[in-house]
A and B are shown apart, each in its own frame.
Chain A
Amino acid sequence: MFKKLLIALPLAVALALPAAAQEFPDRALRIVHGFGAGGNADTVSRIMAEEMSKSLGQPVVVESRPGAGGTVASGYVSKEDPDGYTMQLMVGGHAVAAALYNSLPYESVDGFTFISTLGQFPFMVAARSGEYESIGSLIEAAKASPGSIKIGHSGVGSTQHLTGELLALRTGAEFLHIPYKGGAAASTALMGGEVDVVIDTGTVIRPQAEAGVYDILAITSGERWPDAPDLPTVSETVAEGFDVVSWTGIGMPAGVPNDIADKIRGAVHDALAVPAVSDKIASLGAKPSPSSGADMTALIKGQVAVWTDVIATAGIEKR
């Protein structure tokens, strides 16, 4: 035993020395996300992992830890070593979760080192083609008979649901919010006539709008969206100051050294500058949006405040 140790010790030291001298990163990195394989989060993670591994010179592995709206993954990542090897692909739901859950196993803002947002995307308010002339006439109809117009959403506590609630709060109209399991199911219900309106992302709405099945009544971003400049915003039509964009972004556990965070941020920004990557992110309905860590932190803080307010006023059950 002792003999074996004698041999092993110098060997270990010899192996460790060059590793310590090497620059970050000297081994594989990973991007953890909290959703199922094949979903948008998974798709974006894989696009980013592929490109970042080129500039970082190390493999980047995508790891899915689905559960409880992404909070399982967030709880896991926030407790990992802040050595720079663990990243998390976060989505807008991270800010929603902070407002929705009574207790989370992590600090939503202080528990992370935010690196950069990747893409920002608005939601679209859609109805079956020809049903409503504009978002204005929808709101009028909803005010004329409160609670008769049904909005299908992708799940209680989803950003889509809360956006619908926020629309009701800001316009004073009253809707019946109907939960479905995912945006695709809500969209099917709109097609079949079970609900009157669906608020969801461009990936769900736009193929149907292009086929003439839906009319897009308005877009939820504060300003017109570069990708669809003809669409009026909710803010300019029925609720001034209305601004909901969801996002994807990269976060790390709190306490990552600045130089490592900067290096990762650089790799993220470089990847976003590659046309193939930005095209793919655009095809998911998002605008590529490289940002600073401070901007991402401010974005999340602002959204936590808005959603906390919506959840309290709309009387949505906290978890």
Chain B
Amino acid sequence: MTVVALKFGAPEYAMLVILGLLAASMIGTGSQIRSFAMVIFGIALGLVGADATTGYYRFVAMPELADGISLVSLAMGLFGVSEVIRHASTRPAANTPTLSIRMRDVIPTRAQAKSLVFPIVRGSSIGSFFGALPGTGAAIASFMAYAMEKRFSRSPEKFGKGHLPGLAAPESANNAASQTGFIPTLTLGVPGDAVMALIIGALILNGIIPGPRLMVDQPELFWGVIASFFVGNIILLLINIPLIKLWVLLLRIPYQKLYPMIVIMICVGVYSHRTSVTDVLLTLAFGVLGYLMKNYRFEPAPVLLGFVLGPLLEDNFRRTMLLYGGDFTIFVTRPISAVLVACSAFLIVFAIWSSFSTRRIATRSIG
């Protein structure tokens, strides 16, 4: 795993992101062209901030934007605040009738469990892969798993409405990615994402410097961390199972009381992320934008993917050009990169082919 991670250079990352973006434009329940437009919009938002290759400031209207728009602001605005506005602008619906949840309801039925095996396997494998790659992490893994699952699903129209495979796949990916994220952290001393950086910081604070020697020099720490994965997950389960009843009670809180609380929580959360008021204001602005987008049937998820993947693509593409003197053939002469290019090509062909074949079926059924 570590060896593969090291073989992933700039060209591989660039091609991986292209593959991700192609998959991304297939998420969303609306039309392909709309979700493609939203991916592009996300990429455009990702341009804000210092250009990583030259350090040139792009669209930096105020110094707080020098490091770009915060992902937290964008996500909280588009997904959180916009929902609140949407609900506030419609007539308050009657609250969901109180469900009395019994222990039996929590356990999935046999049919449900069966339908979830493959989504979980697929989600976990995607998550394990992205988690181990430094610089990607759990967020990207979840989105990729969601996009992938939707492709595989026989009922993609149910996605986004609590469809079980659509929940299971990204959640498995998220869990898998947060565990495999420890691989580069503990074996190379290279943090894959912000959370891992925080963990390295905590280790250093205690006088332990993670690196290739960690496994040999501090076996009790290394295996302690591994053991903590198991213990942690079991405890999570033990805490949450009795609390499910409590979480369900949240549905009984009247919306007019729940929503202001949500907005306050979002503002506090966003502020504490970078202690920046600009971020909070941006979140609210993105909330309004997200509301308008939903009204005009534009999906927010592709925006987020474009936002995360766009800068990654630009960085790695330009780095490749810098490293290999502007030689485009590098993308197909390196084996891993070539495989990724082939996958992307396959996806494009598949998309075109499937759009043709569905049209043919449609005409046939009319005829």
Contact = CB atoms under 8 A, between A and B. Distances in A.
B90 to A, nearest CB: 38
B323 A178 contact: yes
B356 interface: no
B55 to A, nearest CB: 4
B211 interface: yes
Interface stretch (B3-11, B108-116, B140-148, B242-250): B3-11
Nearest to B209: A207
Contacts of A156: 50, 52-55
Given A47-B205, A66-B274, A192-B9, A185 B135 contact: yes
B240 to A, nearest CB: 26
A191 B6 contact: yes
Given A67-B63, A68-B67, A185-B134, A42 B55 contact: no
Interface stretch (B165-173, B190-198, B230-238, B254-262): B190-198
Contacts of A193: 9
Given A75-B63, A207-B189, A317-B56, A188 B274 contact: no
A83 interface: no
Contacts of A40: 201, 204
A47 B201 CA distance: 12
**Which of B8, B188, B198 is packed against the most chain A CB atoms within 10 Å?**
B188
Given A72-B66, A179-B52, A208-B211, A43 B205 contact: yes
B134 A207 contact: no
Interface in A25-77: 36-40, 42-43, 46-47, 63-69, 71-72, 75
Interface residues of B, number: 47
Contacts of A180: 319
Nearest to A73: B275
A256 interface: no
A105 B190 CA distance: 34
Given A150-B323, A181-B135, A207-B213, A42 B201 contact: yes
A210 B218 CA distance: 14
A189 B50 CA distance: 22
Given A66-B274, A72-B66, A317-B56, A188 B6 contact: yes
Contact of A192 (B6, B54, B199, B214): B6
A64 B275 contact: yes
Interface string A201-224: 001101110110100000000000
Contact of B55 (A157, A206, A210): A157
B207 interface: yes
A187 B185 CA distance: 13
Contacts of B204: 40, 43, 203, 283-284
Interface string A96-129: 0000100001000000000000000000000000
A1 B261 CA distance: 33
Contact of A43 (B7, B52, B201): B201
Given A156-B54, A283-B204, 17 more contacts: A37-B201, A38-B201, A64-B274, A67-B64, A67-B66, A67-B67, A67-B274, A68-B50, A176-B323, A184-B197, A187-B190, A204-B189, A206-B211, A207-B212, A211-B211, A319-B55, A319-B57
Interface of A: 36-40, 42-43, 46-47, 63-69, 71-72, 75, 100, 105, 150, 155-157, 176, 178-181, 184-185, 187-189, 191-195, 203-204, 206-208, 210-211, 213, 279-280, 283-284, 316-317, 319
